[in-house]
Amino acid sequence: MNYLVSIIIPVYKTEKYIEACLQSALAQTIAEYDSSQTIEIIVVDDGSPDQSIERIQPFLFSHPNVRLLRQENSGQSAARNHAITVAQGEYLYFLDSDDLLPHNAIEALYQLAKQTGSEVIIAQSKAFNKNRSWFIEDHAEVASSAFRQVNFNDQPILVKTTPPWAKLYKTEMIRQHAIRFPEGIGLAEDWIFVLHALSQANHISTTPDITYLYRGRNDVDNLSCTQQVNHKVFHDLMQVYQLTKKFSLPAEHQRLAKYFIIKSLLHRLLKLAKSCSLDTALPTYQVLATFLKIETKSEDWAVLSEHAKLVLDLLSHDLYLAAHHAAQHRYKMAWLTGTGNVLPATLFSRYQTTYKHTRFLPLKRIKKRVQSSLTLSAWRIKYQFAKILAGLYPKNGKIILIGERLGKTANDTSYHFFKHCQEDDSTQAQYFYTIQRHAPTRKKIHSYRNIVDYGSLKHFILFHRASAYVFSDNMRDIFRQWKRVHAEHAHKKKIFLQHGIFALNRAKGYYDRHSMEQRGERPDCFVVSSEFEKTLVCNQFDFQEEEVVVTGLSRFDNLPTTRSQPSGAILMLFTWREWLEKMSPEAFEQSDYCQKIVELIHHPMLRQMHAQHGLKITLCLHHKMAQYVQHLPIIENVRIVSMSDSDIQHHIIQADLMITDYSSAAFDMLYQNKPVIFYWFDHQAFFAKRGGPLIHPTQDMHDSIAYHCENALNLVQEAIQHQFNITQIQRAWAQEFFSHKDQNHSQRIKNKLQQLL
C-alpha cells in the first residue's frame, strides 16, 4: 500500500514516552481520512534494552499502518536510514520517540507541500518540559519567515534550522540523491542530512504552523544526546563541521554553519568546566584549541557575550588553566601571568578588566542574599498578618481584585473593565483596582471608589478575601509574590483579559495553557475578541473550548464605531525588544531598533508629506524605552509621548493612520476601520525571539506590510491619497477578529464572571 506520509520513529530507551508519541502520531489525519489510510508509521527498534518494544506491541496489533523494524544497536542515524529504504510514503517525516505531534501537524505540512510543490517543507516547533514551554529561536526565525518556493542558496538563514524534525521531505528526492544520515556520529549528525536535503531540493517553503513538540528532558539515568558532555561530543561536533564543507556552501551559509558549531562547542565547554577537573578536561581543551586556531577567527565570535569571547580567546592561546576557571566565572591574574606565554595586549587587558570587575562579586552576592532574605521575611510577616485580619471580616458579598502591569498603569483592558464595573449601578460584587501610589496614570481613576495601593496592607488583605482575580498580563498584576502563594489560592476564579488580540505574536509560549498552568495562572476564563481568535488560542495555545469566551476586549467599549472627518493624525507605535534591556544608552543609540525609528521620523519623504498635508505625527514610546528618550533626535512636527504616562486610547481614537511593527494596538485601529501600516524592519529576529505569529501574515496581510522605510512611507502616501480609508483587503482580514462591535464588551465579561462565581 502506498501512503501519503511515512513517519519514522527510531526507538532506544524511551519506554516512558513511546506510547504518548505513538498516540500523537496515530491521531494525525490528512484530508479527513484517518491515519490508517494515509500515514505509515515506521518504528525502528535500535536494540533498545528497556521495555519500549513491549509498550509498542499493542499498537502493532490494533493499527495495520504501524510497522516495526528491528536491528542491533547501531545508533539513531542507522535506524533512520533503515526506515528510509523501506518507507512507502510519498513524503518522509522524522519523529523522535520521546517527542509529540500536535493536532493536524502532518496535514498542515502536506497541504503546503501540495500547494507549493516544494520538496522540503519546514514548520515551527515548540519545546516543553514539566515546568514550561518555549520556542527555539533559530527554528522560529526560519518558520516564521513563511518562505514560498525559495532556493537554499538564496536564503542563508535556512542553515539555522538544524534538526530533521518539523520538516516534510519528498521521498523521491531523498532516494534520488542518496541522502542519508551519517552513521557513527552521535550529535548534530542529523544537521548534515538536513543540509544535504535543502541543497538538493527543487525549492523550499516554510510555515509558522506548529508541527512538532520537542520534549526537554533530563533523565538522570538516560540523558539525551544533546545533554551529554564528554570528549566524543566535542569530537562529533568538530567532525560535523568538516562534513558541512562538502556542500560548498555560499560564504554566508558557511559563516552561519561555523557559528552554530562554535555555539554548540561553547555550550558544552561551559558545562564541562563545571563538571570535572582541569586534568580530566585537558585533552578536550587541547583538541578544541587546535580547532579554534585552524578553523576560526576572533571575528567568528563577535556576536557572543564578552564572557564567552574571553573563554574562547584564552583557549585559543593555550591558556587552559585560565580558560577552565574563566568558564566558571573565576579569575586570578596568576593563572594568566604564570604561564610564561607572550600574550596579546588586548587579551591581557580584557582579562585584567574582567578580574577587577568580578573580584568583589562573591561579597556582593552575599549582600544581595542577605537583603533578599530580610525582604522576604518582612513580606511573609505581612502576608500572614493580612491573612489573620482578612479572617476577621464578615464573609458577605464577593470581592473581585483587578490589576494590570504589576500595578504600574491604568490604561489597558483591566482598567476599562474596572471602569465599567464602577459605573454600572447594577453591580452587586465589590470590584477593587490595585495600582501603585505614584503611577502616572492613576489620575484617570482617582475619582472612583475601591482604589487600593499596590503592595499596601489593605492590598494584602483584599488579596486574601477576594473570590476572583482579573488580570491582563500575568498574576503578578494582582499580587507580586503570586508564585510563592498560588497553591493556597488555586480555588479562586481567574479571568484573563489579555492586553491585545493574539495574532502577530506568540509571546515565546508564555500564554499557552501548559505554561500558565505551571505558573498557577491558568485562567477559568480566557477572553478573546472573535470566534476566529478563539480557534487560534485553542489550536495554538492548547486551551479547551469551554475555557475561552468570545466577549470582545473591554477596551473596545470606548472606541467609536463610526469615523470622524480625517485630520491627518498619524500615530507611530512600536513594541519593545527584550534583547535591548540593560543596554547602555550609547549601545541603544547604535541599535538597529533605534536607528530604524530615527530614520523613519527623520526621513525627507515624511517631512515633505507633513509640509504638503499638515500631518499631525505622534510617536508613542514603549514604557521601557523612556530611559532612552533623550537619545532620540528632536524632530520638528513629531510629538513624542510615553505610553506609561499618557492615555494611549486617546491617541488611537484621534489617529487616522497607525504605523506599527507588531503591536496588538493595531487591532484597536482596525476595529474603527482605520488603516494600519506594519513596518517590519526586523521581522526575522523578532519572530525568532517571540515564537512567530499565529496567522500567516504574508498571505493575510501582504498589502499592509513594509520591510523598508521607503516602502512604509509609500504606503503612507497611498493612505493620504485615499483620504485615510482602509483598503478592502485589510478590512476583510481584520473583520475576522471582531465578533462584536458595540459598547457591551465589558458587560459580557462581567456576565461571564458572575456565572463563574
Report in angstroms the alpha-carbon separations of 693 from 148, 155, 156, 230, 378. 16, 20, 21, 38, 42
Q: Which of 215-224, 319-328, 639-648 has the lowest mean pLDDT?
A: 215-224
291-344 pLDDT, tens digit per residue, is 999 999 888 888 888 899 999 999 999 999 999 999 999 998 888 876 667 788
Instruction: For residues 570-588, give the mean pLDDT.
Output: 87
220 pLDDT higher than 50? no
1 pLDDT higher than 90? no
Contact 547, 526 (CB under 8 A): yes
**C-alpha–C-alpha distance, residues 215 and 128, integer Å:** 5
Give the per-residue pLDDT at 622.
Answer: 83
pTM: 0.85
**C-alpha–C-alpha distance, residues 309 and 288, integer Å:** 14
Q: Long-range pairs for 272-277 at CB < 8 Å and ≥24 separation?
A: 272/229, 272/327, 273/323, 273/324, 273/325, 273/327, 273/328, 274/327, 274/328, 275/229
34-61 pLDDT, tens digit per residue, is 678 899 999 999 999 999 999 999 999 9
**C-alpha–C-alpha distance, residues 472 and 509, integer Å:** 16
**C-alpha–C-alpha distance, residues 429 and 434, integer Å:** 16
Among 126, 33, 42, which Cα is nearest to 92's? Answer: 42
421-459 pLDDT, tens digit per residue, is 998 877 678 999 999 999 989 999 999 999 999 999 999
261-299 pLDDT, tens digit per residue, is 999 999 999 999 999 999 999 999 999 999 999 999 888
Grid coordinates standing for 65? Answer: 499502518
Handedness of CA 315, 317, 319, 320 (dihedral sign): positive
β-pair type (120-128, 204-215): parallel
CATH 3.40.50.12580 at 569-737, yes or no: yes
Looking at per-residue confidence, does 28 or 578 come out higher?
28
**C-alpha–C-alpha distance, residues 474 and 521, integer Å:** 7
* Cβ neighbours for 429, distance < 8 A, ≥ 6 positions apart: 397, 398, 399, 400, 467, 754, 757
Instruction: For residues 514-522, give the mean pLDDT.
Output: 92
346 pLDDT higher than 90? no
**C-alpha–C-alpha distance, residues 252 and 304, integer Å:** 17
E strands in 95-244: 120-128, 133-134, 167-170, 204-215
Give the per-residue pLDDT at 219.
Answer: 54
225 pLDDT higher than 60? no
147-198 pLDDT, tens digit per residue, is 999 999 999 999 999 999 999 999 999 999 999 999 999 889 999 999 999 9
**C-alpha–C-alpha distance, residues 40 and 131, integer Å:** 33
Q: What's the whole-number average pLDDT of the chain?
A: 91
Give the per-residue pLDDT at 302.
Answer: 84
Instruction: For residues 88-110, give the mean pLDDT.
Output: 95
The CATH H-level (homologous superfamily) assignment of domain 393-558 is CDP-glycerol glycerophosphotransferase, N-terminal domain (3.40.50.11820)
Give the per-residue pLDDT at 218.
Answer: 67
Give the per-residue pLDDT at 699.
Answer: 73
Contact 543, 513 (CB under 8 A): yes
Which CATH number fits the domain 3-223, given the four candidates 3.40.50.720, 3.65.10.10, 3.90.550.10, 3.40.50.11540? Answer: 3.90.550.10
Q: Long-range pairs for 375-383 at CB < 8 Å and ≥24 separation?
A: 379/481, 382/457, 382/460, 383/460, 383/481, 383/485
Among 182, 296, 293, which Cα is nearest to 239's? Answer: 182
Q: Where are the alpha helices (DSSP H) in 327-456?
A: 333-337, 345-358, 361-392, 413-423
